[in-house]
Amino acid sequence: MTDFTFDDLLNLIQMAQTLNDTEREQQYDEVRENEQDEVEAIRPDLQTLVQDYQVQTDEIVKDYQKGFHLIDKEVDGVLQTVFAETDQADIEAIKAQLSRPRLNS
């Protein structure tokens, strides 16, 4: 019977560890490849989603700009009406109040 030394045991453990590392790396490589395949499979759907999002965002911006333009137009109309109804005497009174020196408290 041959003597099985401590060094033989260490060598056996190292060999087993090396095999485990190799197997683990192979598994990691397989997982990476599978993930890459999955990404490639859903890429067209993702591109479609991004394009749809861009179209919808553009529509929202256009609607917002239209609404803002309408509100701006209404405000201008109200201001013109207010200024048209304000007579010159009121304007002069407001100017006089604004031009008076104020006392500091």
From residue 6, how far is each of 3, 10, 14, 20, 31 by CA, in Å?
Answer: 10, 6, 12, 21, 37
- pLDDT > 70 fraction of the chain, expressed in percent and rounded: 94
Does the pLDDT value for residue 105 go beyond 60? Answer: no
CA distance 56 to 94: 48
The predicted structure's pLDDT at residue 6: 84
The predicted structure's pLDDT at residue 103: 65
- Name, in order, each residue with C-beta under 8 angstroms of 64's C-beta and a sequence gap of 6 or more: none
Per residue in 33-78, pLDDT (tens digit) is 988 998 899 999 999 999 999 999 999 999 999 988 888 888 888 8
CA distance 32 to 50: 25
- Based on DSSP, count helices (H) and strands (E) in the chain, helices before strands: 2, 0
SS3 3: coil
pTM beyond 0.95: the answer is: no
Domain ranges of the chain: 6-99
